[in-house]
Amino acid sequence: MATPVYTAVDILKLLPHRFPFMLVDRVDELHKPESESRVGRKIRATKNVTFNEPFFPGHFPHRPVMPGVLQIEAMAQCAALAVAEPGGAKLDVAIAGVNDARFRRPVVPGDTLSLEAEVIKDRSGILVIKCTAKVEGQVACEAEVIAKVFALEGSAL
């Protein structure tokens, strides 16, 4: 396995999420075109889904399945990492909308989610990101995430 672009420790420095809502374990690839716009930024990250996830006992005891909303959250966190700049302005990214979400297969304990995101529009702090979550090459979830990017207090965009 290649050296990750960001490890879990790096991700903790870039995202505000903590247990139980940190849903990206590492960033495997990151492509940032030379441009003022964030359009074209692409990222691939990994989430290892273990039986110890806090949602499995209640979703569902007889057949544990990762909730779809958490699959979308994992993709959104992946997308946020595509626009984060280590050492740059401290940004916050909030989901403003989700379009065309589709769930193609269940995500269960033992699965490894390969998360992919690509910024397809960048307009005045509003991003549209095409996101996909795959397990063993099969699409588990896909959606277009609309995100609002804003500087945290004391930072400039």
* Catalytic residue annotation: 59
Q: In the numeric block, which tokens belong to residue 94?
A: 């909030």
C-alpha–C-alpha distance, residues 156 and 142, integer Å: 32
* 96 contact partners, CB below 8 Å, separation of at least 6: 126, 146, 147, 148
Sign of the dihedral through C-alpha 73, 145, 133, 17 = negative
C-alpha–C-alpha distance, residues 5 and 22, integer Å: 17
